[in-house]
Amino acid sequence: MSKRYAAIWFKHLLTDQRIVRRPELKDKAFVIAAVQRGRMVITAASVTAQKRGVKTGMVLADARAIAPALEVIDHKPDLEKKLLLVIAEWCIRYSPIVALDLPDGLILDITGCVHLWGGEPAYLKDINQRLAVQGYQVRSTIADTVGCAWANSRYGRIKAIIEPDGSKEALSVMPPQALRLDDSILERLEKLGFYQIGHFMDMPRTVLRRRFGQQLLIRLDQALGFAAEQIEPVRPVEPYQERLPCLEPIRTAKGIEIALQNLLEALCKRLVKEGLGIRKAVFKAYRMDGSPQQIEIGTHSASSNISHLFKLFQLKIVRLRPDLGFELFILEAPVVEQISQDAMMLWNISGSNDQAEIAELLDRLISRGGPDIVNRYLPAQHYWPERSIKLAGSLVEKPEFGWPVAHPRPISLLHVPQLIDVTAPVPDYPPMLFRYQGQVHNVIRADGPERIEQEWWIQQGLHRDYYIIEDQNGARYWIFRLGHYGAHEHPKWFIHGFFS
Amino acid sequence: MMQSANKMDMVSKLQKDILGLQGFRTVTQSQHTDFGLGVIERSFPNGVFPTGAVHELVSHGRQDAAATSGFIAAILGKTIRQGGLGIWISQKRTIFPPALKFFGVDPDRIIFIDVKNEKDLMWIVEECLKCKALTAVVAELKEISLTESRRLQLAVEQSRVTGLMHRMNPATINNTACTARWQVRSLASEPQDGMPGVGFYQWHVQLLKVRNGHSGSWVVQYKPGQFNHMQKPATRMDRQLLKTG
């Protein structure tokens, strides 16, 4: 069976994508520009902009002179590739072999596929229509070879489908650019007056090679089908997913556990092979009446330990309501990560086994108590007590500098300082007595003040003068005065903590 | 005479067996951690502070809770000195992590679990006590029933984790299966050499109940040593005049 290829050319790939994102741009003149050698150069122009004379490759300043109301969007590197990759994965519906053709096209190997759509015209129509619905203007063509299909999509004028063995005829009327040649060769061809491929197609090969080099011959052969051309198909990432359909509906917790165990074994086997571990997993159960239910787990560190993951799920199985029974189970791992070996050596505790054990313990606690119950703190470079600690991002994070010990801090700190009534001698002595929660405390001993200034670049406000005081019962408190006494100011006093 | 000596041997041997059955393990010299608790340690069986056991600390009121937290932190400082890891479970946490450094604990070696749902509290405490990789588990809770305390005791007998249950404002002090029950109150500090200001922390430490040991009551002063040298004992508990038990 002879090969058949389809080429899809996206006429305005980048600008179409912008319009899909922001429909209000549809009839506006806008360009996508990137910095090249210190100036802004247009990499793509919208249809409206092109009508006004703006072309790709123009310097932005020139384009602005032609069309002053031009809207400029920054170019994102590699956006075409990402975009084409997504479209290519979508195109796998048309053929299992889809290859990228950077910067603005796709090549499909459609051998043996088109009859499913009822012939080549219907096949192309479907592609064009569906892509148009998504907002992309394309021209798609079918031919015997990659080269011919490519040429026809870009430079063909007459018909989209070139019948088998019609490549030579179709190519002969196309310009040499249709052969995907280097600019230098194109220039020479033009100089010699070869405006169509037909002009030089039948010349002796030795002559062509001597004048234009090997590349012309290779491209010509590829387009005519004398030389093979390889395309590299995209491979979609297979999702980390396992399915388990059941013959009989499953209603018991034990049954669900068995299903879960089987799915975990299958999934973890694959993960172990690839050196990955689960960070997040979803267990979906489809009930007979069609209502899907799901439970979800997250782990602290990537794990492919079946018994641990099973335990995490086990805590949540009770949330599933089987009713008439489940007929399909699906286990998905939307987030997987490399299992890192070096993460094992935090806190030099006795061994890596301990490490994993603690991570697993924390996972269990989180799955029972909620995601934010586990906290670990690191010192932060602030004197202001509320800001002097920060949450550690991970369990392996170590403090960048030592914990400060210069000033004593209370073991128990109130989240919000509470107002107290004091009798204090001015200007900056500790109080003689204070009233807190209806009780009067006589101050026997006191230390301080320790002045902590507000950090003006974070927050404006008065400074705090902290005192450590001890009352008649031997209880020790941390209190502060907000601001200082002045002619008119009467600063407030607060209690902030308790010392041991 | 010979017979009575045999009897004494037998009794002491049986007593040791009972200790073993109750979850006490004879600590070999190398494993022995010097808690620096001084005389208090003599109240325990074999004269060793029992790690791998559940201790119960009772406090009433905010100030006593702070003193008890300080005492717990000082014990933590001793137990996780060799590079262990602790967990501090609480519902409404007021512990200020930087303060732990004054008791010889690196605050980043403590994982704080802030339990939101009271129903989960006991489950989490038990789950943590079962984890062999931890050194100590502190839990701030209100009530603990005999059954719950038995479960915790069984968990630590397997895992050898030290459990410190801080009971804040309990309604009643019921019977529990914990190894020891403590009560710590703050006392007025005594600045040295007539210096002004607040001196080292002083506590009134009561050992209300201890299994196979003697209860007692002491006044102790907590004196932070030089934190640069972790080998140096960080606590020095002094037996003082005030003794009631």
Nearest-by-Cβ selection for B73 from A349, A399, A411 = A411
- Domains of chain A, each with CATH number or no CATH: 1-236 (3.30.70.270), 241-338 (3.30.1490.100), 412-498 (no CATH)
More confident residue, A210 or B81: A210
Determine the Cα–Cα distance for residues A154 and A152; give it in Å rounded to an integer: 5
Work out the number of other CB atoms within 10 angstroms of the CB of residue B117. 13
Which tokens belong to B188? 């007025």
* A378-416 exposure pattern, b = at least 16 Cβ within 10 A, e = fewer: bbbeebbbeebbeebeebbeeeeeebeeeebbbbbbbee
Q: What per-residue confidence (pLDDT) applies to A413?
A: 92
- Looking at beta carbons, which residues of chain A come within 8 Å of B95? 411-413
The answer to whether the CB atoms of A411 and B198 lie below 8 A apart is no
Interface residue B107 vs chain A (CB under 8 A): yes
User: Does residue A495 carry a pLDDT above 90?
Assistant: yes
Q: Give the pLDDT mean for A205-218.
A: 87
pLDDT-based confidence at B34, cuts 50/70/90?
low
pLDDT-based confidence at A67, cuts 50/70/90?
confident
Beta carbon pairs, A and B, within 8 Å: 171
Asked if B227 and B234 count as a contact pair (C-beta separation under 8 A), the reply is: yes
User: Does residue B28 carry a pLDDT above 60?
Assistant: no
pLDDT-based confidence at B35, cuts 50/70/90?
low
For residue B28, the 8-state DSSP code is: P
Determine the Cα–Cα distance for residues A300 and A339; give it in Å rounded to an integer: 12
Helix axis angle for A146-155 and A214-224, nearest 10°, is 90
More confident residue, B242 or A359: A359
pLDDT-based confidence at B36, cuts 50/70/90?
low
Q: Give the pLDDT mean for A404-415.
A: 89
The answer to whether the CB atoms of B71 and A392 lie below 8 A apart is no
Residue type, A484: H
> Which of B31, B63, B201 would best serve as a mutation to test chain A binding (most A beta carbons within 10 A)?
B63
More confident residue, A462 or A366: A462
pLDDT-based confidence at B5, cuts 50/70/90?
confident
Instruction: Identify the residue whose tokens are 């018991």.
Output: A252
What's the per-residue H, E or C state across chain A? CCCCEEEEEECCHHHHHHHHHCHHHCCCCEEEEEEECCEEEEEEECHHHHHCCCCCCCEHHHHHHHCCCCEEEECCCCHHHHHHHHHHHHHCCCCCEEEEECCCEEEEECCCCHHHHCCHHHHHHHHHHHHHHCCCCEEEEEECCHHHHHHHHHHCCCCCECCCCCHHHHHHCCCHHHHCCCHHHHHHHHHCCCCCHHHCCCCCHHHHHHHHCHHHHHHHHHHHCCCCCCCCECCCCCCCEEEEEEEEEECCHHHHHHHHHHHHHHHHHHHHHCCEEEEEEEEEEEECCCCEEEEEEEEEEEECCHHHHHHHHHCCHHHCCCCCCEEEEEEEEEEEEECCCHHHHHHHCCCHHHHHHHHHHHHHHHHHHCCCCEECEEECCCCCHHHCEEECCCCCCCCCCCCCCCCCCCCEEEEEEEEEEEECCCCCCCCCEEEECCEEEEEEEEEEEEEECCCCCCCCCCCEEEEEEEECCCCEEEEEEECCCCCCCCCCEEEEEECC
Q: What per-residue confidence (pLDDT) applies to B244?
A: 38
Mean of all residue pLDDT scores within chain A? 85
pLDDT-based confidence at B239, cuts 50/70/90?
very low
Interface residue B200 vs chain A (CB under 8 A): no
Q: What per-residue confidence (pLDDT) applies to A351?
A: 46
Q: Give the pLDDT mean for A48-77.
A: 84
ipTM score above 0.90: no
pLDDT tens for residues A91-121? 888 888 888 887 888 888 888 888 888 888 8
User: Does residue B96 carry a pLDDT above 90?
Assistant: yes
pLDDT-based confidence at A234, cuts 50/70/90?
confident
| Residue ranges per structural domain of chain B | 46-222
Determine the Cα–Cα distance for residues B205 and B185; give it in Å rounded to an integer: 7
User: Does residue B225 carry a pLDDT above 60?
Assistant: no
Nearest-by-Cβ selection for A368 from B69, B84, B123 = B123
Give the closest-approach CA distance of A390 to chain B in angstroms: 10
Q: What per-residue confidence (pLDDT) applies to B90?
A: 92
Give the closest-approach CA distance of A291 to chain B in angstroms: 30
Give the closest-approach CA distance of A32 to chain B in angstroms: 49
Q: What per-residue confidence (pLDDT) applies to B227?
A: 28
3-state secondary structure of B141: strand
Give the range among A11-15, A183-187, A394-398 with minimum mean pLDDT.
A394-398
Q: What per-residue confidence (pLDDT) applies to B23?
A: 63
Q: What per-residue confidence (pLDDT) applies to B1?
A: 57
Q: Give the pLDDT mean for B138-150.
A: 91
The answer to whether the CB atoms of A354 and B132 lie below 8 A apart is yes
* Residue B38: φ, ψ to 5°: 65, -130
User: Does residue B164 carry a pLDDT above 90?
Assistant: yes
- Of the candidates A436, A450, A482, A464, the one whose C-alpha atom is nearest the C-alpha of residue B63 is A436
More confident residue, B82 or A240: A240
Q: Give the pLDDT mean for B95-119.
A: 89
| Cα A72 from chain centroid (whole Å) | 25
Q: What per-residue confidence (pLDDT) applies to A342?
A: 43
Q: What per-residue confidence (pLDDT) applies to B245?
A: 38
Q: What per-residue confidence (pLDDT) applies to A124?
A: 87
3-state secondary structure of B71: helix
More confident residue, B20 or A159: A159
Q: Which long-range contacts (CB under 8 A, 24 or more apart) does A314-319 make?
A: A314/A257, A314/A260, A315/A364, A315/A367, A315/A368, A316/A367, A317/A253, A317/A256, A317/A257, A317/A260, A318/A253, A319/A293, A319/A295
Helix axis angle for A306-314 and A352-369, nearest 10°, is 20
The answer to whether the CB atoms of B107 and A379 lie below 8 A apart is yes
Four-residue CA torsion sign, B191, B192, B195, B201: negative
Give the range among A19-28, A217-226, A238-247, B141-150 with minimum mean pLDDT.
A19-28
Q: What per-residue confidence (pLDDT) applies to A477?
A: 92
Nearest-by-Cβ selection for B186 from A385, A410, A475 = A475
Q: What per-residue confidence (pLDDT) applies to B217?
A: 84
Q: What per-residue confidence (pLDDT) applies to B2?
A: 63
User: Does residue B209 carry a pLDDT above 50?
Assistant: yes
Q: Specify whether domain B46-222 bears CATH 3.40.50.300.
A: yes
Q: What per-residue confidence (pLDDT) applies to B113?
A: 92
Nearest-by-Cβ selection for A403 from B62, B98, B123 = B98
User: Does residue A391 carry a pLDDT above 80?
Assistant: yes
Mean of all residue pLDDT scores within chain B? 79
Burial category of A44 from C-beta neighbours within 10 Å (exposed 0-12, middle 13-18, buried 19 and up)? buried
Which residues of chain B from 129 to 148 reach within 8 Å of chain A, CB to CB?
131-134
What CA dihedral angle connects B52, B57, B62 and B66, to 10 degrees?
-40
Which residues of chain B from 74 to 103 reach within 8 Å of chain A, CB to CB?
83-85, 94-103
User: Does residue B69 carry a pLDDT above 90?
Assistant: yes
Determine the Cα–Cα distance for residues A128 and A273; give it in Å rounded to an integer: 41
Asked if A144 and A225 count as a contact pair (C-beta separation under 8 A), the reply is: yes
Q: What per-residue confidence (pLDDT) applies to B212?
A: 81
The answer to whether the CB atoms of A474 and B131 lie below 8 A apart is no
More confident residue, A249 or A300: A249
User: Does residue B175 carry a pLDDT above 60?
Assistant: yes
Interface residue A411 vs chain B (CB under 8 A): yes
| Cα B4 from chain centroid (whole Å) | 38
User: Does residue B59 carry a pLDDT above 70?
Assistant: yes
Give percent helix, percent strand, percent coil of chain B, each to the nearest 5. 35, 20, 40
- Of the candidates A213, A222, A203, the one whose C-alpha atom is nearest the C-alpha of residue A182 is A213
Q: Give the pLDDT mean for A225-233.
A: 83
Four-residue CA torsion sign, A154, A156, A157, A161: negative
